[in-house]
Amino acid sequence: MRAAGEHLGTGMQIGAAMVFFVGLGIVVDRWLDITPWGTIVGACLGMVGVMVLVLRMAKEGNRK
């Protein structure tokens, strides 16, 4: 179960990053009345953040 905990934490980080950036995009949409562009940009930034996280984890895995 401890080994699974590390992977569950990674999944939570990925989910949290996407929710944060998409949520931020929705807030910007409502604030500037530019729907759906803020959400689209937020989703793209979230995906970039997830890719950075995955690449860091891959580098760390290769070091071990």
In the prediction, which pLDDT does 4 show? 76
Residues 49-58 have pLDDT tens digits of 999 999 998 8
Residues 6-64 have pLDDT tens digits of 778 888 999 999 999 999 999 999 999 999 999 999 999 999 999 999 999 889 888 87
Q: How many domains does the chain have?
A: 1
3-state SS, residue 33: coil
* pTM (two decimals): 0.81
Could you list the residue range(s) of the whole structural domain that residue 34 is in? 2-62
Query: What Å distances lie between residue 14 and 22, 29, 47, 56, CA to CA?
Result: 12, 23, 9, 13
